[in-house]
Structure 1
Amino acid sequence: MCQESDALVSLIIPVYNAQDYLPLCIDSVLGQSYRNLEVILVDDGSTDKSSSICDAYARKDSRVRVLHQGNGGIAKAQNAGLNAVRGDYIAFADNDDILDRRNIELLMHALVKTGADMSKGRWRQFGLSQMQNVQREAGSGAEEPGTITVFTDPLRAYQTVFSKALRLLGEAAGRHSEARYLNEANWCRLYRADLWEGIRFPEGRYAQDTAVAGRLYARMNKVADIDTNLYNWLQRPESVTHSKQKTSFYHDHIQAALENMALCREKTITPARSYYTLMGNLRYERNLEASSEGTSQLFVADQEAASTALGYLSLTQRGYCRILSGLRLLEKAVYDRRIKNLA
């Protein structure tokens, strides 16, 4: 496929204690068929060999830039990368994941061809036992996409097209529902750089991706989806999303959901996904409170804020949100069981 653009793409990789997987990730980035890359490795105070691995790659490839900083969390690392970008387009990757060789090429083709603000591809989860197969397939490069689907009003799609069962029904009806699925992840996307002007991740908080997702989608007019796997997401039990959480984790997700619900109210969109996030994390927070002595002021404040936000929803909106939330909970039980079985 001919590349319609030779514009510089800045690819940001926050790095923290990933010495066992980091070289595989960086190799998959430097091996991209799209060559005009600026690879920004943000070492967030790693205590293993990750820092020296980053520096070694910078010495070998002039496209690699390394930023070293004290440990401040993924949001601080992502922001440092955003503040340093020079490219016209921005992409992200996690430090233990593997990109398909044609990831940037195909995302760029879709974005330029359609005039979209962001392009995205499909991804898959994999376990450590599948590493060699994933490396081989990713290195071979994806086939030409069967369909590039363009859709508008991505904020509405983000809030409403998140149930897998309903997406399957939509696909069967020819509505390209899977293409309209958006979550909070930043990887396997290619953004126009100007979308990030004035937007940064909230530092010192969990749910940093959820906190900016709504604002980003509200800025976009068009999104292009490629029906091809372009990204491989490693599942490790020690990762943040798979580890035991604490009250602050749930509180931060509640705050992010409330912020997105306020944005939806402004845009007259039913916040079904944010309702699901809000109610689920309130439930987890409540269960955690029940196992401790007394009730924290943080939990009381979260309950009051949630009650206020829910009061803005009509009865019809609440019913719709409850139905989608219940369906998504059933799907999550199946998803969690499948992911835990990845080895």
Structure 2
Amino acid sequence: MPNSTPLISIIVPVYNAEDYLRYCVDSILRQSYTNLEVILVDDGAKDSSPAICDEYAAQDSRITVIHQENGGIAKAQNAGLDAARGEYIAFADNDDILDRCNIEYLLHALQNTGADMSKARWRQFGVSQLDEVAQEAQVGAEAPGAITVFEHPLAAYQTVFCKSLRLIGDKLGRNTEARYFNEANWCRLYKRELWDEIRFPEGMYAQDTAIAGKLYVRMKKVADIDVNLYNWLQRPDSVTHKKRDFSFHHDHVTAAADNFRLCLEHGVIPMRSYYTLVSEFYAEISAPNFQDSASQQQHKIDKNKVDKLTGQLPTGVRYQCAIVRRIRLMEKYVYDKKIKNMQ
């Protein structure tokens, strides 16, 4: 019999989030499920975030604070994983807000299906909506009516990612939306053993993409619940919205290439990895430092990598990946216009 109230570790990397951190931590401490270990990893923040973390730790024994020199989100996430004692692992970004029932519903889905990971839906919101969203999250979402369980998560991750195609799949009764998930680590609950000997690569962007395939290969089943349990803040000063330098795009090319190879090894069509690999390769040209000699040389190396990998796909599959990429690029254009203008 599984432990009905296992310890769950929630890892929160913290960096210069003084204006939003309390919203995040309060939403975690107010969870309807209370047997939590909250690990706040201060990644050398320069504002009052470290003091806020210590303040919360003094008030609630469930909180552990780790202070370290700035090393990036991957280093902070790894520090949290190394310190975690929970039977299950969850992550949250330091400016996002969890629904009050987030952990309760995700744990219920895991324990009732025997899945390796459970996931729920999320929504984006702007800075002007912080108080409104925080109040809604404190009320808690209604319990989901059903749990969808699917196998072969690596294949789902790679092939179910275009919004328009997911909508068509749902209209055809295939429940496609339930099989969609990306490489983000939040709004999920993982069995602890999935992370054994897996850590985020430090010192690079795309740290979540880089380990996505390795995680999904280990999973046999994923449970999805059709309810919004996570609120993702859209900030104009975040990495998502800033002009990106060459290394950002190159790191995504590297991560996508690793996932591409993994898919070929496991007989999975690397549709999402094709999209990321090719799109980020072309995006390197738009980087403000593309004219640097080092960037130019790396771009040539990346071109050989892209050509070699995509050349391993059968002609029909390659055309299919290219078509889906075009669809996704159109969706992304609309998405960016809407999301990046949130206030």
Q: TM-score, normalised by structure 2?
A: 0.97
Alignment partners' CA distance in 1, 2:240 and 2:55 = 30
Give SS of 1:243's match.
Answer: coil
- Kept in 1: contact 2:245–2:288 (CA 8 A): no
Residue 293 to residue 210, structure 1, CA distance change in 2 (3 Å): closer
Give the AA of the match of 2:5.
D
The alignment status of 1:326 with 2:326, answered yes or no, reads yes
Residue 132 to residue 290, structure 1, CA distance change in 2 (3 Å): closer
Identify the residue that residue 45 of structure 1 maps to in structure 2: 44
Identify the residue that residue 316 of structure 1 maps to in structure 2: 316
Give SS of 2:287's match.
Answer: helix
Identify the residue that residue 342 of structure 2 maps to in structure 1: 342
- Kept in 1: contact 2:246–2:290 (CA 8 A): no
Equivalent residue pairs, number? 341
Displacement, 1:286? 2.5
Q: Superposition pairs for residues 179-194 of structure 1, below 5 Å? A: 179-194=178-193
Identity %: 61
Displacement, 1:290? 9.4
Alignment partners' CA distance in 2, 1:165 and 1:293 = 38
The alignment status of 1:301 with 2:286, answered yes or no, reads no
Identify the residue that residue 207 of structure 2 maps to in structure 1: 208
Q: Superposition pairs for residues 153-192 of structure 1, below 5 Å? A: 153-192=152-191
Alignment partners' CA distance in 1, 2:186 and 2:9 = 13
Give the AA of the match of 1:239.
S
Query: What are the Cα deviations for residues 280-332 of structure 1, in whole angstroms up to 9, with x where unaligned?
Result: 11111133389626662111111111111112111011011011100000100
Displacement, 1:248? 0.6
Query: What are the Cα deviations for residues 93-147 of structure 1, in whole angstroms up to 9, with x where unaligned?
Result: 0000000000000000000000000000100000011112211110000101022
Residue 53 to residue 290, structure 1, CA distance change in 2 (3 Å): closer
Give SS of 1:101's match.
Answer: coil
Alignment partners' CA distance in 2, 1:16 and 1:291 = 28
Give SS of 2:100's match.
Answer: coil
Give the AA of the match of 1:338.
K
Identify the residue that residue 24 of structure 2 maps to in structure 1: 25
Give SS of 2:111's match.
Answer: helix
Give the AA of the match of 2:341.
N
- Kept in 2: contact 1:17–1:50 (CA 8 A): yes
- Kept in 1: contact 2:98–2:137 (CA 8 A): yes
RMSD: 1.4
- Kept in 2: contact 1:289–1:296 (CA 8 A): no
Give the AA of the match of 2:41.
V
Displacement, 1:241? 1.2
Alignment partners' CA distance in 2, 1:300 and 1:341 = 34
Displacement over 4 Å in runs of 4+: none
Residue 289 to residue 53, structure 1, CA distance change in 2 (3 Å): closer
- Kept in 1: contact 2:245–2:289 (CA 8 A): no
Give the AA of the match of 1:189.
R
Residue 291 to residue 105, structure 1, CA distance change in 2 (3 Å): closer
Q: Superposition pairs for residues 211-230 of structure 1, below 5 Å? A: 211-230=210-229
Residue 262 to residue 291, structure 1, CA distance change in 2 (3 Å): closer
Q: TM-score, normalised by structure 1?
A: 0.97
Identify the residue that residue 276 of structure 1 maps to in structure 2: 275
